[in-house]
Amino acid sequence: MLEVFFLGTGGIMPTRERNVPAIALRYKGEIILFDAGEGTIRQMNTAKLSPMKVEKIFITHFHGDHYLGLGGLIQTMNLWNREKPLHIYGPKYTFEFVQNFLNSGFFRPGFDIHVHELGETRLKFGGYEVWSFKVEHGVPALGYVFKEKDRRGEFLKEKLEEYGLEEGPVLGKLEREGKIEWNGKIIRLEDVTGPRRKGLKIAYTGDTEPCERVKLFAERADLLIHEATYLNPEDRGESYHSTVEEACDTARRAKVKFLALFHRAFRYGYDEYAAEASKICESLGVNFVIPRDFDVITFKSGSLAIRNLLEDGK
């Protein structure tokens, strides 16, 4: 199961309604953060997500609304006597900016922090990978893809019966080693399983103006979280951001299954933004959601569900 927590869904500055960007992926007990705007530790506390389970933080770029929450996160980890290292990833200048940040004030972390500067990179971790790709925002900026490794197909009952195999240690050995000798025959894993299942793919743009690399890296993603700061080009002006229509068009061309419109400008109320965005996305035939703070998208057994933690009373 994979859960995507929208801890902050707005852009530029926090409001009473929503905080600035922070997205948490919870996967097999680990929490992976993408951006950490100011107040992220408060949002995590409300969502009942422990910062001690965060091992990796991926920063898209160093505008304040995307990284100023690092201080509160790291100090809280320190107060809770964290021992395991923390890895922070980001674009060019990440090392310099994080060091400056950590050297401010009368505070030094008591655990190791490893800083990694990325270009277009493919990082491999256990059961998943994270890909970084360059976007267009007027400063060094990255988007990211979380890609779960493809999984083996389900064991086929009729094939197990054909070979005289039963649930138990022998199937565990077959899964680990890929083949076994059984009753004088060599049996391969693919002999008794169905087609491989594609791992989940989540793409996050960070801040960017329309960019073809987003389309390329988000190709056939299960979820594309695309910034859609403005409703129209007139409101955007000269800023390096995307409109709702541009985000929807990218999602359509990339053939993504589901689009989340993210980083709404504070000038728009939710209802105003949702009404206009719905018209645009529906006209393009795009499955979409406009997440609020504390919305959670859950992927389980091939299905997608959305809930809000505050409405759940959790």
Which of 35, 65, 222, 295 is labelled catalytic? 65
| pLDDT for the residue 253 | 96
Question: Which band of pLDDT confidence, cut at 50, 70 and 90, is reported for residue 158?
Answer: confident
Binding region: 61, 63, 65-66, 137, 207, 263
Q: What local confidence, expressed as pLDDT, does residue 135 receive?
A: 97
Q: Where are the domains of the chain?
A: 2-151+200-312, 157-191
pLDDT at 314 over 70: no
pLDDT at 185: 82
What tokens appear for 301 in the block? Answer: 């057994």
Whether 65 sits among the annotated catalytic residues: the reply is yes
Write out the two tokens for 252.
């359509």
Percent of the chain having pLDDT more than 70? Answer: 99
Q: Give per-residue pLDDT as tens, 210-265.
A: 999 999 999 999 999 999 999 999 998 889 999 999 999 999 999 999 999 999 99
Specify the DSSP element, H or E, that contains 282. Answer: helix 270-283
Class of residue 79 by CB neighbours under 10 A (exposed 0-12, middle 13-18, buried 19+): exposed
| Residue range 15-58, pLDDT digits in tens | 988 999 999 999 999 999 999 999 999 999 999 999 999 999 99
Query: Which 3 state secondary structure label does DSSP give 246?
Result: helix
Average the pLDDT over each of 134-138, 156-160, 212-216, 276-280 and give the range with the smallest value.
Answer: 156-160
Give the three-state DSSP class for 45: helix
Under the banding of pLDDT at 50, 70 and 90, the label for residue 162 is confident
**Lowest mean pLDDT segment, chosen from 71-80, 148-157, 245-254:** 148-157
Reported confidence tier of residue 165, pLDDT bands at 50, 70, 90: confident
44: which residues sit within 8 A by CB, 6+ positions away? 7, 24, 50, 51, 73
Q: How far apart are CA 216 and CA 238, in angstroms?
A: 25
CA distance 87 to 303: 31
Among 3.40.50.1390, 3.90.1310.10, 3.60.15.10, 1.10.10.10, name the CATH number for the domain at 2-151+200-312.
3.60.15.10
Q: Pairing between strand 86-90 and 303-308?
A: unpaired
Helix (H/G/I), strand (E/B), else coil: 190: helix
Bridge partners of residue 130, in order along the sequence? 123, 146
Binding-site residue positions for Zn(2+) = 61, 63, 65-66, 137, 207, 263
| Those residues with Cβ within 8 angstroms of residue 88's Cβ, 6 or more apart along the chain or in another chain | 56, 57, 59, 70, 94, 98, 113, 114, 115, 116
* pLDDT of 167 over the 80 cut: no
pLDDT at site 313:
56
How large is the average pLDDT for residues 278-287? 92
Would you state the pLDDT for residue 19?
96
Query: In this predicted structure, what is the pLDDT of residue 155?
Result: 81
Q: Check residue 93 and give its pLDDT.
A: 95
Report, as an integer, the average pLDDT of 289-308: 91
